[in-house]
Amino acid sequence: MKTLIVLLGPTGVGKTALSLYLAKQFQTPIISSDSRQFYKDLIIGTAAPTAAELQEIKHYFVGTLNLTDYYSASQFEEDVIRLLASLHETHDTVLMSGGSMMYIDAICKGIDEIPTIDDSLRNNLKELFEREGLEPIRQRLKILDPVFYKQVDLQNHKRVIHALEICLMSGKPYSSLRTNTIKKRPFQIIKIGLMREREELYERINQRVDTMMEQGLLQEACSLYPFRHLNSLNAVGYKELFEYMDGNYTLVEAVEKIKQNTRIYSRKQMTWFKRDKEITWFHPDEKKAIINHIRQLSDPIAQSFS
């Protein structure tokens, strides 16, 4: 049976190290489901695989996009499903690893058919937002899709703008396109979740931020400062350092903000993942138990005796 192993968990939990180990055990390439690692200029701040790790194991969707490229979960679904059809011709098992919740769900469950947004429309709404703020966009969404208007976090400008983009692009209410229908895949999916005690995870996050700073995160952010308005740079680690460059934080305050916001994001990830009852959870050190679990689920003979 063709299998997709999905290795997921909060940022800083240890997915990269375990993904390399599992890739060797199952002789599989790795598909990244970390949406920020898609961008080739975001290296230190996204904890992207090192050059040595990329040389050791074939990775897909790492460093493939420019900062200005538009890329969505629906495009990711289309690209990965096409790639898996090819990889499964030579690999019974393929590994996908990352922590971007919507992108993982796009592969495991499918995503609604949402139209690709025209660049001119996206730019027009972006200019409106920068010129007049979010309120006129909210009001337009309220008229075109009152159902979604009542559901969406009206302070989340990205979601509000995205919903209006879809309304205008499709000529239909965004809510009418959100069917949440789970798509059947032609392969088995085994979801492995990694978790640590909160104190342990937070200490790892804090240490990782310090390590990133030592590796040159500030210099990387400085080189990206001219592009700070791009959606690809609306990410923890870069946003806080841009605030430092704008004079709104001291460097010490910016680093502490990165740690705090990364911890907050890790909690959001766990809240999302814990709703999924198909995930089996392990501590990253439980390598033997993880491998045995995968082998049992991917072996139909073993399943018949379980």
Task: Report whether pLDDT(306) > 50.
Answer: no
202 and 82 co-located in one domain: yes
* pLDDT higher than threshold 50 for residue 304: no
Band of residue 86 on the pLDDT scale cut at 50, 70, 90: very high
Rounded Cα distance, 232 and 234, in Å: 6
Same domain, 76 and 214: yes
pLDDT band at 252, cuts 50/70/90?
A: very high
Q: Please tell me whether residues 170 and 203 are part of one structural domain.
A: no
Can you give the pLDDT at residue 300?
A: 57
Sequence-ordered list of residues with C-beta below 8 angstroms from that of 4, at least 6 positions apart, any chain: 84, 93, 94, 95, 96, 107, 185, 187, 188, 189, 190
Query: What average pLDDT does range 254-276 have in this prediction?
Result: 96
State residue 112's pLDDT score: 77
Higher-scoring residue by pLDDT: 301, 117: 117
**CA dist., res. 232 & res. 38, Å (int):** 9
CATH code (residue 170): 1.10.20.140
pLDDT at res. 119: 83
Q: Are residues 168 and 286 in the same domain?
A: no
Give me the pLDDT at residue 181, please.
Answer: 79
| Domain boundary pick from 147, 177, 207 | 177
- Same domain? For 193 and 140 the reply is no
- Confidence band for 115, pLDDT divided at 50, 70 and 90: confident
State the residue range of the domain holding 138: 119-177
Give the pLDDT of residue 62: 97
How many domains would you assign to the chain?
Answer: 2
**Is the predicted pLDDT of residue 116 greater than 80, yes or no?**
no
Predicted confidence (pLDDT) per residue in 146-190, tens digit = 999 998 889 888 889 989 999 999 999 988 887 777 899 999 999
Render pLDDT for 71-81 as a digit per residue (tens, 0 to 9). 888 899 999 99
Let me know whether 226 and 123 are in one domain: no
- Global pTM exceeds 0.85: no
157 and 291, same domain (yes or no):
no
- Say if residue 55 is in the same domain as residue 187: yes
Same domain, 103 and 123: no
> Any idea what the CATH number is for the domain that residue 102 is in?
3.40.50.300
The answer, yes or no, to whether residue 60 has pLDDT greater than 70, is: yes
